[in-house]
Every structure is written in C-alpha cells, then in structure tokens.
Copies of this chain bind each other. A is one copy, B any other.
C-alpha cells in the first residue's frame, strides 16, 4: 500500500513535477479510499485534512497522474456519468457490475491477459492494458429475483 505511494512519489519526481502539498495529499487520499472513488469523493475526503483544497486542483492532479501512468480512470455504466479513479495497480484489473444494485466487484483473471496476448500477436498490435467488465446480477440480487425452485409455493 504505502509501497505504492512511494513508487508514485518517485515517479512524480522523475516526471519533473513539483511535489506540492496538494499532490501529496491527493496521492495519500487515493490509497486511503476504497476502490474507484470519483473526483468529488477524493476531494471530500482530502478536504478533511486541507479544507482549502479546490475541486479543480483534484481534477487537474488526477489527470496529471493519469498522464504519468499512476492513476487509471474508469467509467461504469449505470453510475451516472462521472469518472472514477484508481491508483495504478492498487486494485483488481477487471470488474463485475450488478445491473440491479449497482454493486461493483473487482477481480483478477490471468486468462484475460492470455486472451490479450493472443489478440496482440494475431493483429500485430501492442496491448498495454486489458479491462474486462461483466454485467449481470450479483449473488444477492440473483437469489432475490429467481428464488429456489418451488420456494414460495
């Protein structure tokens, strides 16, 4: 966790950027928050430590971190139209989205990387990232929607 933070700080330096208090705070906030927060959520949480922190600074910092490859932006269907941000490598690469309760579950699955490599080879492209998103009903919602056979009769 903090190891990620250190890597991030080193990279920020290497990129020739200035390590301002705001950037440090935003980076730390990203490690403290649960997965895929929105810019508003990062701002709300970081503002607990620096109430002067501006939302546009959060947006600018997140985009800068993204350009440096330190943050991965994501968008989820059914979650309005805002962006979500994760420290690169801090969470599972793939996601399951419940279309009923909007729950988002992360997972990793090496087979996906194998598919990506196969595609890259066959089409002569370079693949830097693979993101699988599954849409469906989570265990709870599925159970509620399709009760056990003969259950309620």
Interface set of A (CB-CB < 8 Å, partner B): 73, 75, 77, 81, 83, 96, 98-99, 105, 107, 109, 111-112, 114-116, 118-120, 123-139, 142
Copies of this chain present in the complex amount to 2
**Chain B contacts for A127, CB-based, 8 A:** 96, 134-136
User: A119–B131 contact, CB under 8 A?
Assistant: no
Which residue of B is nearest A98, CB measured?
Answer: B125
Q: In the A-B complex, list the 7 residue pairs whose CB atoms are closest, starting with the nearest.
A: A127-B136, A124-B139, A129-B135, A126-B137, A126-B136, A128-B136, A126-B142
Indicate whether A142 sits within 8 Å of B128 (C-beta atoms), given known contacts A111-B115, A119-B134: no
Query: Is there contact, CB below 8 Å, between B124 and A142?
Result: yes
**Do B130 and A132 touch (CB < 8 A)?**
yes
Once the chains are docked, how many angstroms separate the CA of A119 from the CA of B110?
A: 12
Shortest CB-to-CB span from A13 to chain B, Å, is 24
Q: Which residue of B lies closest to A122 (CB)?
A: B107
Q: Which of B120, B133, B139 contacts A136 (CB 8 A)?
A: B120
